[in-house]
Each structure stands twice: as structure tokens, then as C-alpha cells.
Chain A
Amino acid sequence: DVVMTQSPLSLPVTLGQPASISCRSSQSLVHSDGNTYLTWFQQRPGQSPRRLIYKVSNRDSGVPDRFSGSGSGTDFTLKISRVEAEDVGIYYCLQGTHWPPYTFGQGTKLEIK
């Protein structure tokens, strides 16, 4: 199975400052169809997960443009350009290239400093 490793696991950020979360996979996530199936989710306290980014860098409808995804191969990053209070929660990456199983990262808890 592909292991997804996120860092940091805890991320205290000052309001208005940028934030960055890393996600590394144990093998390349480039699919034979040429796509890279790396997805980012946000889970606010007490809520269900919400998809933010799919195929590395495609933002879902309604996701603020302060969120961006980048990376390739085995190394991926979710960036928030200016953190707002509503961004508090846990962020997960997911690989959908080598499945089953689909595998999630451990989660990164973002809090306001």
C-alpha cells in the first residue's frame, strides 16, 4: 500500500500569515493515464471532510483562491496564502493513483496562534 506522510502534524499560524502543509507518498503518484491523483481535504471541527483540491492543483468550486496545491511525483504541498479564522481544522491528503486501497495522510491540525 502507498503510505502518505504529512508534515507538520500541528501547525499554529498567526491570522493573515501564510501556511504550508507537506504530503509525501511512498511511491510516485503519476498514473499510467498521465494524471496524478493527489487530493486535499479540509475537516473543520465537528464537520464532515470537504474536498479542496483534486489532481494536485485543481481547486473545487467555492474554495477560496487563497488555497493552492502544487507538487509532483512523491512530493506535494497545500498552501494557504493568508490564513483566516475559518481555516482552522484538520487537513488531509489522499492518494487515488494506486488503489485499492485509497490512502490518507495522518492529518495536519491547523490552529490560530
Chain B
Amino acid sequence: EVQLVESGGGLVQPGGSLRLSCAASGFTFTNYAMTWVRQAPGKGLEWVSGISGSGGITWYADSVKGRFTISRDNSKNTLYLQMNSLIAEDTAVYYCAKSQVVTAMTFDYWGQGTLVSVSS
């Protein structure tokens, strides 16, 4: 059974940093691209970033480019999102999602999400 468990969310001040993790199980992690999607309180879904199965290719939304870094450790079956220079608009539930292919996002399974709050 595919499982994705996010962690690392919390309250952080504007300008601060946070690292999110997504622990994956139930599938061969290295074979699939992974992605982060966020949802601001009461709002819709916004794609944030994606990474290929090997980790060699990454993609970002313009809203986070230069501030966020996606990475993965295939030996630990874990996806990461390093978030720097956080602003209030980054406040959201962050979901990781699995793909069915190695170099594109298909969003077939989602984690339960982790809440990031940016506030002073």
C-alpha cells in the first residue's frame, strides 16, 4: 500500500526557513517523480515543485523559485522541500504527491499534508 507521510511543518517568522519531509513507502521510490502541492487556508490547490525519480531534474513554480529547493534521498525513500525567505503568502498545507512516471507529475497518491504558518 502506498503511504506518504509529511512532516516538518510549523510556525515560522517571516524571513525564516523550514524543511519539510515526505516519507514514502509501498512503492519503488526511485522509479517515480515526486511533487509538492500547497493549499492556503480556505483556498485552492497550487503546484509548488517537482523532482524526477533520480533527483537530477527539478521544476518550480515562479512563486517559489529561488527560495525553495526540492530534493530527495532515494536511499531513505524521502522527499524534501527546503523553504527559505518565507513570506506570509507561503502559509498553507503542503502536500507531497507521487507520480506514476519518472519525469512528469501525475499526482496519483497524496499524503495527509503538513501545515506551515508564516507569521510574526
Contact = CB atoms under 8 A, between A and B. Distances in A.
A51 B108 contact: yes
Interface residues of B, number: 22
Contacts of A101: 47, 59, 61-62
A49 B35 CA distance: 14
Contacts, number: 57
Interface string B19-48: 000000000000000010100000011110
A69 interface: no
B6 to A, nearest CB: 10
Q: How large is the interface on A (under 10, 10 to 19, 20 to 34, 35 or more residues)?
A: 20 to 34
Interface of B: 35, 37, 44-47, 50, 59-62, 95, 104-113
Interface of A: 39, 41, 43, 48-51, 54, 60, 90, 92, 94, 96, 99-107
The 3 residue pairs across chains A and B that have the minimum distance between CB atoms: A102-B47, A48-B110, A100-B59
